[in-house]
Structure 1
């Protein structure tokens, strides 16, 4: 284990805990007062763009103001989401059905589901993104105020 300053670790953990709780509250408020619905939505969204995020060239190509277009998003199955979150597939399937019913995800045949670009650029999608960004900036400001560099 590397040398570390226990006081610094505690300060970072407090700030991170505060950030996480604010994000859970934001996600709950945004997703029908159900934070797990938001977690499944975010897991689908991240899986849809993982090939972009994993490729530096594609990351730069799609780093603009608009989210990546639907044509480059990769559908994800309930099974893959269940495995990534370590929760039962049936639970994920029910949440995905709710997301589809709420028009937050589209089914792509038997390939899985996709969060379409239109959802991310909707007023609600933009507000969630902005609030998440503001929450992250608040965490970074707290760390700077505490004179902590990671």
Structure 2
């Protein structure tokens, strides 16, 4: 991350600048998701993917490359029900069920025992993988800007304060 170009006093985060960066990031995400289809479809795809993979430890990674064979096997994905997706997104279950059915029909989601997964074959598609790569770049751009504003340093300092003496001893 780039170093901060400004010093922020604790409790003095530049809220407008932070919200502007987050808003810009969200608009970029919406643009990329719309390339996959309906915006709601993209949001559901992202949540299914998150639910499928959030249990992975950090060392779980696919191979270098963009083909399905390069990605983490589908058997490692934890299925999620449409109801689980609806709860996590705060959406009506019927809305998620209807969109999920269409996504299954389009071959973007797969039904497996226990629910839905976003399979490696979908991730490797020409209209999906670039959207994920663009999202990673957009996230990096936002985090870099937050770092330059000094916000990440402030967040780290606040987190260190929350952990008290333990964290200070570990760092020092």
Q: Deviations over 1:47-72 (max 9, x none)?
A: 111221xxxxx321336544321111
Question: Would you say 1:4 and 2:11 are equivalent positions?
Answer: yes
Larger Rg: 2
Corresponding residue for residue 170 of structure 2: none
Highest relative contact order (Cα 8 Å, sep 6+), 1 or 2?
Answer: 2
Q: Deviations over 1:106-141 (max 9, x none)?
A: 1114x2111111211232222111111121122133
Give the whole-Å Cα distance in 2 for the aligned partners of 1:13 and 1:139.
Answer: 11
Give secondary structure in 1 for the equivalent of 2:128: helix
Corresponding residue for residue 62 of structure 1: 61
Unpaired runs of 5+ residues, structure 2, are: 1-9, 65-69, 154-172
Between the two proteins, the alignment pairs up a number of residues equal to 139
Corresponding residue for residue 21 of structure 1: 27
Q: How high is the TM-score relative to the length of structure 1?
A: 0.81
Corresponding residue for residue 139 of structure 1: 142
Aligned-CA RMSD value: 1.9
Q: How high is the TM-score relative to the length of structure 2?
A: 0.72
Corresponding residue for residue 127 of structure 2: 124
Corresponding residue for residue 158 of structure 2: none
